[in-house]
Structure 1
Amino acid sequence: MVQGGISTGRSSLLKSEDWWAVWLGGLAFLLGLGQLLGWDLLGWVVKSNVWVSLTKALEPQSKAYGFMPGWVSLIVTYLFFLVTSSIGATFMGWNLKKFIGGFTVIFVLAYGSWLLGSYAHIAATKNTLGNLNINWSLGLTPEAGFIIALIVGLLIGNFWTGLARYLEEAAKPELYIKTGIVILGATLGIKALGSMNLASTVIVRGLCAIVEAYLIYWPVVYFVSRKWFKMTPEWSAPLASGISICGVAAAIATGGAIRSRPQIPIILSSVIIVFVAVELLFLPWLAESILYNQPMVAGAWMGLAVKSDGGAVASGAITEALITAKALAVNGVKWEPGWILTVTTVTKVFIDIFIGIWAFILAVVWSVFRIDKKSSGEKGGKVSAGEIWERFPKFVIGYACTFLILLLIGLAAPHLTKEATSAANQANGLRGIYFTLTFFSIGLITNVRKLWAEGMGKIVLVYAVCLFGFILWVGLLISWIFYNGIMPPVITG
């Protein structure tokens, strides 16, 4: 039996979705590590660019596979996903014939959604319009593909129920998202490694962001959603993580840790992506207006306020372009490029690194205090160490391992940092596809009317109240406290 995404009554390491997320994510990670030995084992994985012409949308990740047309790379990637997922399906006792047929349709529709979300007029941020030779874009970043995949899944699941039933054997959002998060650990390990080479001042102040995101933002958002809007812990905890920490990954990791239904963190993540797009429309220009004399404050503010990695980095890049131009025009000061964006990135990285630790803490708290049982009216009672382990999300172990392995490789053998970075980037290409499969699958199994009745309609209001009520301004205050007066190097001559 499976409850809230955590396998119960199954002791085998080969019969649990939670463990198969570790094995599949670990496989992608290990294949990526071939780079350390000079083996390019994942360069064939398809990559979708932000595109204007569809003929230039797809290509292999590695130049070593440049001979391979993009559509061939896509087919090979599909076969890799199909074979590896089918092996897991076999061990978990799923109907293999139905799984293969359903997975094929889901992959085509999900990746098609991601491809559409990468269309330049949908995805391009304002700092990239010139390079793409376009005049306008919605600026949603390629993460718009997640929203499109969710919408397509919702339409099929709620209006084409016959097709939805055919696909349901392969609609496994828990497996897909947890596998993606295992791979995500490698990416964050590389980011952390890179941060260690930055100026110590920036690193120390980046660490301070952890205190704000986890000990200030999180409890306040949780309190507001629970007390003011009467949302259940199942909704409030992933919402607090998504708004406070790092959008998609944090909301889903939290959902797994507290055993929420998988639909909940995905719905929350979709709202977060939309709000990230809203922030990109005005926050960099607000920073330019009030902080052009405090560039590092502005960079940190973007990292603390914008709740997705892609959105935060994009906002940091736009902010740097706006502020450096204004400082040169108004004050005649030309700052060395890259520092504002570096502060944004470091701040975001240090927040992201602790997603796994936070998921572990919440898993223990929810187990010890039986929060999910109390909120559903069940009786509490003494909890055993065995139950804590049973409830603990195993994918967090995979996340921690991929993170630590790449971090330790970089520390022990700095000359391999370039290869380790390439390994993480290639594995991360698979992670993006796993996330897209998740959003589509969630839409497919979601009953919109039921979720709306349970609280989905309150999410936008809670987010707006928290974001504009205190998150932006507390983030600005903290950024000012730690970065006020610190300037990038000036270019002279």
Structure 2
Amino acid sequence: MADAASTNSVTPSKRGGWNTEDWWAVAIAIVVLGGALIAVWVSRPDDVDQRIEAWATADANVDQLLAAGNVSKSERKAAETAVKDAQKKVAPNPLAAWMGKTSGWKDDPRLAFVDSKGRSTVVALLSLFTGMGCLFGLGAWFLGRRMDQFIPGFACLSLLAVLAQVLADHELIKHFGLEYALWALVVGLIISNTVGTPSFLMAAVSTEFYIKTGLVLLGAEVLFHRLLALGLPGVFVSWIVTPIVLISTFIFGQRVLKMSSPSLNMVISADMSVCGVSAAIATAAACKAKKEELSLAIGLSLSFTVIMMIVMPAVIRAIGMNSVLGGAWIGGTIDSTGAVAAAGGMLDNTALQVAATIKMIQNILIGVVAFGVAVYWV
């Protein structure tokens, strides 16, 4: 364990505060978005304005259907498919041949690596992971990771990611809505609780690094009009409900549970009401909590996050809750930002966008909450 921990540690940078996972996550996302933008711009069609207008019209139809609330699942799916088709027609993707993904399959898992036109996607998958490996490898090198362990570790992680996606693409599994995030969790639990996580793999296990990069990319995908579509309900869930949960939880812990440590109570309250680990760390510093109290709060948060990440999508499906409301519930309830994205993805893309948007708005409160706690503690 000591070797694994040292392998995954970050050497303090002498170049300043920019050399952190946060900054590298943003930098990698900017490179990806910038490269995609340049490629699409160069290959844009002549009638791009008309295609954009058709895309906007199709997207507006989806918003109207969601606002109606009583739309059938087939109608919503047809409308979302129309949006995707219109989006693809806006500009052809010149990088599609180098960005592979797995396909659905039933009896032969090899069919997962064949696209709808019968072409193999193995080379495209390899090129995708090679490109991402180079970008993350560059960031890892600047962060002090050992490349002789990061490279094989990232390659192994890529294979495990493909395995999780292939399992999720099975016809029967897809029918029950058991998405890739669940299978990634299952595969990881099996490895860690049987053979154990290899030390070389730990060099590439930078969960927060990957999640932060993914969230920047996801944030670029969540268009501003989606944020406006949430309107006052979205802001209410994020900025009104969160302080209420924080204060009521703290009062409950002190007066009902009679917790002996107010600082532990406050860290747990902030952890579960805002965004998990990040809020816990910020609040622990504000209320001068002990290291053991912070560790306990984080442990509780991660334990319940794993449970809720799996249970909440299942409950939402069972009671027939629509994607917008389900995504808002997930975004405002699950602690960890990464788990919010994973749980939302278990439902559908709409739930993912709503959940991520709610959580992103909620995350803005980290500094406000920490400041408020510091003032209260003085």
Which band: TM-score by shorter chain?
0.5 to 0.7
- How far apart, CA to CA, are the structure 1 residues paired with 2:246 and 2:311? 16
Specify whether residues 31 and 301 from structure 1 end up closer, same or farther in structure 2 by C-alpha distance, changes over 3 A only: same
**Alignment of 1:48 onto 2:111:** no
Specify whether residues 119 and 224 from structure 1 end up closer, same or farther in structure 2 by C-alpha distance, changes over 3 A only: farther
Q: Of 172, 179, 201, which residue of structure 2 is paired with 1:121? A: 172
In structure 1, the gaps of 5 or more residues are 125-136, 197-202, 242-249, 288-297, 318-343, 375-379, 382-493
- How far apart, CA to CA, are the structure 2 residues paired with 1:186 and 1:103? 25
Report the counterpart of residue 160 of structure 1 in structure 2.
195
CA contact (8 A) 1:209 1:304 kept: yes
Identity %: 17
Deviation (angstroms), 1:358: 2.7
Q: Is the deviation greater in 28-37 or in 168-177?
A: 28-37
Deviation (angstroms), 1:21: 0.8
- How far apart, CA to CA, are the structure 1 residues paired with 2:324 and 2:20? 41
Q: Of 96, 109, 125, which residue of structure 1 is paired with 2:147? A: 96
**Alignment of 1:175 onto 2:229:** no
Specify whether residues 195 and 18 from structure 1 end up closer, same or farther in structure 2 by C-alpha distance, changes over 3 A only: closer
- How far apart, CA to CA, are the structure 1 residues paired with 2:206 and 2:301? 15
**Alignment of 1:22 onto 2:26:** yes
Specify whether residues 272 and 150 from structure 1 end up closer, same or farther in structure 2 by C-alpha distance, changes over 3 A only: farther
- How far apart, CA to CA, are the structure 2 residues paired with 1:309 and 1:87? 25
Report the counterpart of residue 225 of structure 2 in structure 1.
193
- What SS does the aligned partner of 1:48 have? coil
Specify whether residues 232 and 117 from structure 1 end up closer, same or farther in structure 2 by C-alpha distance, changes over 3 A only: farther
Q: Of 244, 256, 263, which residue of structure 2 is paired with 1:219? A: 244
- How far apart, CA to CA, are the structure 1 residues paired with 2:19 and 2:163? 31
Specify whether residues 208 and 111 from structure 1 end up closer, same or farther in structure 2 by C-alpha distance, changes over 3 A only: same
Report the counterpart of residue 141 of structure 1 in structure 2.
179
Deviation (angstroms), 1:235: 4.8
CA contact (8 A) 1:98 1:169 kept: yes
1:211 maps to amino acid: F
2:143 maps to amino acid: M
**What do you get for the CA RMSD once the two structures are aligned?**
4.4
Deviation (angstroms), 1:353: 2.9
- How far apart, CA to CA, are the structure 1 residues paired with 2:184 and 2:301? 13
- How far apart, CA to CA, are the structure 2 residues paired with 1:313 and 1:171? 21
1:160 maps to amino acid: V
- How far apart, CA to CA, are the structure 1 residues paired with 2:104 and 2:118? 21
Q: Of 110, 126, 136, which residue of structure 2 is paired with 1:75? A: 126
Report the counterpart of residue 35 of structure 1 in structure 2.
40
Specify whether residues 194 and 106 from structure 1 end up closer, same or farther in structure 2 by C-alpha distance, changes over 3 A only: closer
**Alignment of 1:278 onto 2:314:** yes
CA contact (8 A) 1:6 1:18 kept: no
CA contact (8 A) 1:210 1:350 kept: no
CA contact (8 A) 2:313 2:343 kept: yes
CA contact (8 A) 1:222 1:239 kept: no
TM-score normalised according to structure 1 size:
0.48
The count of aligned residue pairs is: 293
CA contact (8 A) 2:104 2:171 kept: yes
In structure 2, the gaps of 5 or more residues are 1-5, 45-92, 285-293, 332-339
- How far apart, CA to CA, are the structure 2 residues paired with 1:358 and 1:35? 33
Deviation (angstroms), 1:263: 7.3
Deviation (angstroms), 1:210: 2.6
Greater RCO (Cα-Cα under 8 Å, separation 6 or more): 1
Q: Of 239, 242, 246, which residue of structure 1 is paired with 2:272? A: 239
- What SS does the aligned partner of 2:198 have? helix
